[in-house]
Amino acid sequence: MDKQTEFKPYVPAERVTPELTVTSIVIGILLAVIFGAANAYLGLRVGMTVSASIPAAVIAMGVIRVLMRKNSILESNIVQTIGSAGESLAAGAIFTLPALFIWAAEGKGENPGILEITLIALIGGLLGVFFMVPLRNALIVKEHGVLPYPEGAACAEVLLAGEEGGSNASTVFAGMGFAALFKFIIDALKAVSGEITLAVKGFAGAIGTQIYPAVMSVGYICGPRISSYMFAGGLLSWVVIIPLIVLFGSGIVMYPGTATIGEMFAEGGASAIWSSYIRYIGAGALAAGGIISLVKSLPLIIKTFSGAIKSMVGAGAASGKRTDKDISLIVIIPAIVVLTLFVWLIPAIPVSLLGAFIVVLFGFFFATVSSRMVGLVGSSNNPVSGMAIATLLFTTLILKFTGASGIAGMTSAIAIGSIICIVCAIAGDTSQDLKTGFLLGATPRKQQIGEIIGVVASAFAIGGTLYLLASAWEFGSAELPAPQAGLMKLITEGVMEGNLPWNLVFIGVAIAVLVEVLGIPVLPFAIGVYLPVHLNACIMVGGLVRLLLEKIRYKDEETKTAVVNDGVLFCSGMIAGEGLVGILLAVFAVFGLDKALDLSTRFGIPQVVSDIGGLVLFAIIILTLLKFSVWKKRDRKA
Q: Which DSSP state fits 276? A: I
Position 512 scores a pLDDT of 93
Position 208 scores a pLDDT of 92
CB 323 within 8 Å of CB 77: no
Mean per-residue pLDDT, 337-361: 89
Position 442 scores a pLDDT of 93
Mean per-residue pLDDT, 480-495: 80
Q: Which of 292-306, 442-456, 543-557 has the highest mean pLDDT?
A: 442-456
How far apart are the C-alpha atoms of 83 and 33, rounded to whole Å? 8
DSSP for 430-469 reads HHHHHHHHHHHT--HHHHHHHHHHHHHHHHHHHHHHHHHH
Phi, psi of 510 (to 5 degrees): -65, -40
**Nearest one of 10, 47, 54 to 574, comparing CA atoms:** 54
How far apart are the C-alpha atoms of 467 and 471, rounded to whole Å? 6
pLDDT score of 638 more than 50 = no
Q: How many CB atoms lie within 10 A of CB 289?
A: 31
CB 208 within 8 Å of CB 197: yes
For CA atoms 145, 150, 154, 155, give the dihedral sign: negative
65-118, pLDDT tens digit by residue?
A: 766 767 788 998 999 999 989 888 988 898 889 999 999 888 887 888 899 999
How far apart are the C-alpha atoms of 160 and 573, rounded to whole Å? 12
**Residue type for 192, please?**
V
290-313, pLDDT tens digit by residue?
A: 778 767 766 766 765 565 455 445
Q: How many CB atoms lie within 10 A of CB 397?
A: 14
Higher pLDDT, 369 or 209: 209
How far apart are the C-alpha atoms of 497 and 500, rounded to whole Å? 8
pLDDT score of 403 more than 90 = no
For 609-632, letters b (16+ CB in 10 Å) and e give ebbebbeebbeebbebbbebbbeb
How far apart are the C-alpha atoms of 127 and 364, rounded to whole Å? 8
CA distances 261 to 202, 244, 486, 506, 638, Å, are: 15, 11, 20, 20, 56
Pairing label, strands 206-210, 195-199:
antiparallel
CB 473 within 8 Å of CB 479: yes
Position 635 scores a pLDDT of 45
Q: How does the average pLDDT of the chain come out, rounded?
A: 84
Mean per-residue pLDDT, 523-532: 85
Angle, in degrees to the nearest 10, between helices 607-627 and 166-183: 180
pTM: 0.76
